[in-house]
Chain A
């Protein structure tokens, strides 16, 4: 095995992630490879530096920040629920109105035929457009590689 192939194992060794067998093989290699020993020491130094930074949170400190953070999350969840209810309610009302309009007006023999045919075409066109957009959205959602991964 070439030296370059041992290199990734050095990271695993520093992180204590190697199996016992991998560790034995690597130690054996290290015993006669000064280049990899130097590399290992450098990786340990790097790990030491990042470990020392681990507790140094990059996130803003202070209860005020996190209070506001949580409130914002809460409000956005609540608004999402609000929008969902509003949309469902509006859809139900629009559906109800459309049904009554269709049954009451389109089949009203007193209304001029041209108006009834024109209205029917407008409704049919609108329905086709809605179905098309919804179908496209569903298709896009299904093929979006960045949507949340289900586990």
Chain B
């Protein structure tokens, strides 16, 4: 569906629930991906990303439609996932890698190794790598989202990448 986020957001604010659909369809895959990186469970990632969309919709009246939607939404999604992890308090082991059949055409070797290496990292490392490498956020956006200085973003990324490389070898 065409149209800018701002247009849909304003329509949502005026009570048109259907206007939320383009936003969910546009950002759903990225949201699901981010949740999956944090909770490492396909079904939970789906539920939590949906929950974040619902909370975003309910809080929409507080959102300034001049601002980009996704970073704001990502803040909500991250909090939903962290709350869930805090409640779950389960140490996820490496066997809990999400089902591969849910994925789109993963070639056998390198991609599976990359995925397994990512999943073997701590949530802390996986989160920063996910935000930069897959969510395509700038350092400024990551810094705002995680509420850490830009230098810490760089440092966390550096160490996460080193550990990712170690996990790949």
A residues neighboring B (CB under 8 Å): 7-12, 15, 17, 42-43, 45-47, 49-51, 53-54, 56-61, 66, 69-70, 72-74, 76-78, 80, 146-151
List the B side residues contacting A73 at CB < 8 Å.
20, 24, 50, 53-54, 57
Distance (Å) between the CB of A64 and the closest chain B CB?
13
Number of A-B contacts (CB under 8 A): 130
**What is the bound-complex CA distance between A56 and B106, given in angstroms?**
7
List the A side residues contacting B115 at CB < 8 Å.
53, 58
Cβ of A50 and Cβ of B129 under 8 Å apart?
A: yes
A7-B155, A74-B18, A146-B79 known; 18 new pairs, CB 8 Å cut-off, are A11-B157, A17-B139, A43-B158, A47-B133, A49-B114, A51-B133, A58-B37, A59-B29, A60-B42, A60-B103, A69-B50, A72-B50, A73-B54, A77-B17, A77-B57, A151-B63, A151-B64, A151-B67
Cβ of A74 and Cβ of B20 under 8 Å apart?
A: yes
Prevailing SS type, chain A contact patch:
helix
Cβ of B28 and Cβ of A70 under 8 Å apart?
A: yes
Residue of B53, B114, B161 near A53 (CB, 8 A) is B114
Chain B interface residue count, Cβ-Cβ cutoff 8 angstroms: 60
**What is the bound-complex CA distance between A17 and B142, given in angstroms?**
12
Distance (Å) between the CB of B164 and the closest chain A CB?
6
**What is the bound-complex CA distance between A22 and B141, given in angstroms?**
19
Docked complex: B123-169 residues within 8 A CB-CB of A: 129, 132-134, 136, 138-139, 151, 154-155, 157-158, 161, 164-165, 168
B residues neighboring A (CB under 8 Å): 17-18, 20-21, 24-25, 28-30, 32-33, 36-37, 42, 46, 50, 53-59, 62-64, 67, 72, 75-76, 79, 82-83, 86, 98, 102-106, 110-111, 114-115, 129, 132-134, 136, 138-139, 151, 154-155, 157-158, 161, 164-165, 168
**What is the bound-complex CA distance between A37 and B66, given in angstroms?**
42
